[in-house]
Amino acid sequence: MLKLEGRLVGPWVDEVERACSGFIVNQRADGVTFDLSGVTSIDERGKELIRQILQQGGHFRSQVV
């Protein structure tokens, strides 16, 4: 599980993309869960990155269960 905190905007989208480049490049994110419970805002580029990861099988959660 990868926990994201703060704002998923601007240069931080690039940073998350770099950190996840292995499975984004290989188009495989299945089995990876992102915890978004600490994210306070997401811009359009951040939303696009989330869509891309979802299309590749990634999972997201937005609250602690």
Q: Count CB-CB contacts under 10 A for residue 37.
A: 14
Q: Read off the pLDDT band of 57 (50, 70, 90).
A: confident
In terms of residue numbers, what domain contains 52?
2-61
Distance CA 21, CA 47 (A): 16
SS (H, E, C) 1-65: CEEEEEEECCHHHHHHHHHCHHHHHCCCCCCCEEEEEEEEEECHHHHHHHHHHHHCCCEEECCCC
C-beta separation of 63 from 34 below 8 A: no
pLDDT tens column, 3-47 = 899 999 999 999 998 887 766 556 565 667 889 999 999 999 999
The CATH number that applies at residue 7 is 3.30.750.24
Number of domains forming the structure of the chain: 1
Q: Is the pLDDT of residue 63 over 60?
A: yes
